[in-house]
Amino acid sequence: MVRTPLTPAERERGERLGRLLRSARGDRSMTEIAAAAGLSAETLRKIETGRAPTPAFFTVAALASVLGLSMDEIVTTCALPPAVAA
């Protein structure tokens, strides 16, 4: 299966998600948060650095729960601008 390359806007959205997660994580270790969310530390590292800019919904939901973020906050922060999404 060949993946369609991501657009620059999609890459930027992944970077915004990573910044939001890093900020919410604060002083807590990546390993601690990843384990609490049922992920590997490497998966969290890839999401936080934007190397995995399109994580699965349930991955994002698990991280949101552990970090005390609402899904609305994530969508507001990370959604594509209306002109790009249309």
CA 14 – CA 78 distance, rounded (Å)? 7
Say what the pLDDT of residue 84 is: 52
For the segment 35-50, what is each residue's pLDDT rounded down to a tens digit? 999 999 999 999 999 8
Domain ranges of the chain: 8-85
pTM of the model: 0.85
Do 78 and 16 form a contact (C-beta atoms < 8 A)?
yes
Which amino acid, residue 31? T
**What DSSP line would sit under the chain, residue for residue?**
-PPPPPPHHHHHHHHHHHHHHHHHHTTS-HHHHHHHHT--HHHHHHHHHTSS-S--HHHHHHHHHHHT--HHHHHHHHPPPHHHH-
Note the pLDDT tens digit of each residue in 16-34. Answer: 999 999 999 999 999 999 9
pLDDT at 17: 95
Q: Which CATH number does the domain 8-85 belong to among 1.10.1670.10, 1.10.260.40, 1.20.120.80, 3.40.309.10?
A: 1.10.260.40
